Chains A and B, each alone.
Chain A
């Protein structure tokens, strides 16, 4: 792990001196994560690619301001989130992520309606709650990683996730129990 951290820091130092090859390693490491985070905001594959790539370009341009004792991703995440929010302001908000874009891993005991209701429930959540659920379930970040990315205390992440799930469960109402019974 330490070796990974060291190599990333070394990479950043090279990027600061203008080495684009070193930056390609950083981009390749975080591109998928950046894409899915942007997707959760802009809700379209093409726009998520654009926004996430623009975030990497902006990060490259500002890389000299990045402090070497910090982790790259939480710093990058702020740029990505700001660009995603800017995109939402400039463009008409998409109300829903197309349902065909959502995969629930093959599971015969989950019916199609449950998938739809679950997705509708997530869509209705406030942006902050959707954001934290995305980091946790689509990105698979641990609580500590989420705390680092969102720059929040661990306890605050725990309670945010609790309230997000509770809210989601409430939005799905009795449907959840009925769907599971069927």
Chain B
């Protein structure tokens, strides 16, 4: 093994993560190489300090309510999906009724009917365009990679 390759094993050697054969290799190298010996000593000092370091723990209550928070969020999201679906269906139904009434009413002026049709046509084009963009974006979406 080359000098540079052995150097990268020093941290793992200090932490006892090497197998017997690798440890012997590093030990033999350390006996011969003063530079690596110094580096080993420095990393050893750093290791001592790193092992004593920890982040402050959140309060115990945090963990007690953690799962219920996840569950509540999950439940609320499902609720929002149904709520949104209901609003969309009702809006479409109401819109359809209103447009149908307007279109079949002979008293309403033709310009109004054409205007409404143009409005609907434009809305549909914009909706399809956004939908297509979203679907295209989704193909490149980062989270797609979670499929394994």
Interface residues of A (CB under 8 A from B): 20, 24, 27-28, 31-32, 35-36, 39, 45, 49, 53-54, 56-58, 60, 62, 65-67, 70, 75, 78-79, 82, 86, 97, 100-105, 107, 110, 114-115, 118, 133, 137-138, 142-143, 158-159, 161-163, 165-166, 168-169, 176, 180
Contact = CB atoms under 8 A, between A and B. Distances in A.
Contact of B73 (A57, A105, A114, A159): A57
Contacts of A103: 53-56
Contacts of A161: 11-12
Given A53-B73, A57-B77, 17 more contacts: A20-B71, A24-B71, A28-B67, A49-B62, A67-B148, A79-B146, A97-B55, A105-B52, A105-B53, A107-B52, A137-B50, A161-B12, A162-B12, A165-B11, A165-B43, A169-B43, A169-B46
Interface string B27-40: 00000000000010
Contacts of B55: 36, 39, 97, 101-103, 138
B70 interface: yes
Contact of A82 (B66, B77, B143): B143
Contacts of A24: 67, 71
Interface in B121-148: 142-143, 145-148
A127 B46 CA distance: 19
Contacts of A137: 50-51, 53
Contacts of B7: 162
Interface residues of B, number: 39
B148 A159 contact: no
A133 B17 CA distance: 15
B57 to A, nearest CB: 8
18 contacts: A24-B67, A28-B66, A45-B58, A53-B73, A57-B74, A57-B77, A62-B146, A86-B142, A102-B54, A110-B52, A137-B51, A143-B12, A143-B17, A158-B11, A161-B12, A162-B11, A166-B39, A169-B46
B43 A114 contact: no
B49 interface: yes
B69 interface: yes
B53 to A, nearest CB: 5
A166 B43 contact: yes
Interface in B1-55: 7-12, 15, 17, 39, 42-43, 45-47, 49-55
